[in-house]
Amino acid sequence: MTLSNSLEEIYVENAGESILYLWVEKIREFLTEKSQHSDGPDTCKTVMTEEGGHDCDEDDLPDISVLKLSSQSEQIFSPASDDEELPLIKHGESITDRRSTFQPHLSAVENPKQVQRVLNKLYENKKIASATHNIYAYRIYCQEKNSVLQDCEDDGETAAGGRLLHLLQILDVRNVLVVVSRWYGGILLGPDRFKHINNCARTILIQEGYADSTEETSKAGGKSKKPKSKKTK
């Protein structure tokens, strides 16, 4: 009855507008809160993407406390070792466009285990865990092999992870993980969504000293630059 009343209120407040996404979000929020206050069955994470579709199978209900970015990144979310230090996580300013909100997160990492710890820590945040997409990319310099370990994840936002990694490559930043959370607002943004994702990432990289300025990052693609880790302040 509580849920029914909440859905009816949304209908009344948004008369004449499309409310399907608002209803889905309210139902997901309701089920999440209910699962956290009871020992009952877990609920699944319903996902609405830019390309449409819902991913929810009643026969396969994961633990809401162990949300994953995607099935492809399942192994990166396996429990991290307790002795691995959790790096400091910085959160950037959000960008909102046509009800979709984008927010970047950044952490200095030196090995894949720290990447895992940071991702797990981020997903302990209820708001981040409820994001429609959590796109990430990282680059780690391996001094012994004189090579760079790098990877990315779309989390359902096709090609977004690769574009984010390409930005890190252009800037030639090292030992850093960037995650961009997107909360889909029900209105398709088209190519603008990629612009917002990369702008979020670029801004927080500048703020944390991995890049010098917006002007420099825009010109980085045509120049050979010295690889950057975080600058000493």
177 φ, ψ to 5°? -120, 130
Long-range contacts of 83-92 (CB under 8 A, 24+ apart): 84/113, 84/114, 84/116, 84/117, 85/114, 85/117, 86/114, 86/117, 86/118, 86/121, 87/114, 87/117, 87/118, 89/118, 89/121, 89/122, 90/204, 90/207, 90/208, 92/200, 92/203, 92/204, 92/207
User: What would the pLDDT profile of 158-195 be if each residue is shown by its tens digit?
Assistant: 899 999 999 999 998 999 999 999 999 998 988 899 99
217 φ, ψ to 5°? -65, -30
For residue 9, the model assigns a pLDDT of 80
User: What would the pLDDT profile of 76-89 be if each residue is shown by its tens digit?
Assistant: 444 445 556 888 99
